[in-house]
Structure formats: C-alpha cells, structure tokens
Amino acid sequence: MVTLYVDADACPVKDEAIEVAGRRSAAVILVSNGGIRPSRYPEARVVVVPDGPDVADDWIVERCAAGDVVITADIPLASRALEKGAMALGPTGREFDGESIGAALSMRAFNAHLRETGESRGFNAAFTAADRSRFLQALDRVLTRSAR
C-alpha cells in the first residue's frame, strides 16, 4: 500500500490530499511540530514530533520508502525523499524528480543568498485556486504511477 506523507505544518492542501488518497486507498500520515487537531482528520494518522529544526523532515525521511509520496514545499525534504525512492510533490502541484531537484535546490540557495544580502525580501506568492487544482491533478497522476 502506498503511504502519503504530508509535511503538514502550513500545508494548504491537507484536506485535498486526504480526499484523493481515500479514493486511491492510500494511507495518509500528517507530520507536524504541533497545532494539528487529530479529530479534524479522522481519516489520517496525525504524528506530532518534538519542536526543532528538521525534526518533522527527519521523521518522514526515516519512514518513507520507494513508491510512497511526500507532499512538501520544503525542497531539501523533497530531495531527501527522492533519494529514498519516494515521489515528491509540492502543494502547488509541482512534482520534483531526479531531473528537476538539482535546479530547485540551486534556485533555493540563490534566493536565500539574495535575502541575506538584502537584494530580495523573499515574499511568497499567494496560494490560489489554480494552485489547488494543479495539486489535485498532480496528486492523482502521482498516485496512479505509484500504484503500478
């Protein structure tokens, strides 16, 4: 059975991930440093890890396996999941793979440099209905592929 791991802190598509996974008979695990009420997500296992940098990421990476799906906006986590053979998908529907992850990591480092030097303020684009729609389509495609 495919397991869907959701880096749940600030993830805008938890409900959608659970809905699609339910249709595909995939297990869902929401991993968070806190702030998620398990009763709101009875269809998913909610794991609350201790506070700290990358604790949720480490928990996910230790458990994900080939064929599983990791939903995250965290590019280093996506990279680590890919190394384990899992698939990685961003909440806007961006799928990370062996070809795209290097460029994504480089762009992340470049943007961090711009923020550190004051050249950029680092504002993120607002999450839109189009992002949600792209995510739903991408998750359906990824789960179809993982079932093969």
The predicted-structure confidence for 73-116, as pLDDT tens digits, reads as follows 888 999 999 999 999 999 999 999 877 766 665 665 656 656 66
Q: Can you give the pLDDT at residue 42?
A: 87
Q: Can you give the pLDDT at residue 47?
A: 94
CATH number of the 3-146 domain: 3.40.50
Q: Can you give the pLDDT at residue 111?
A: 60
| Cα 115 versus chain centre, distance | 23
Among residues 59, 66, 85, which one has the least CA distance to residue 7?
Answer: 59
Low-confidence ranges of the chain (pLDDT < 70): 101-116, 118-124, 148
- Rounded to 5 degrees, what are φ and ψ at 75? -65, -45
Q: Can you give the pLDDT at residue 141?
A: 94
Beta strand 95-96 pairing with 87-89: antiparallel
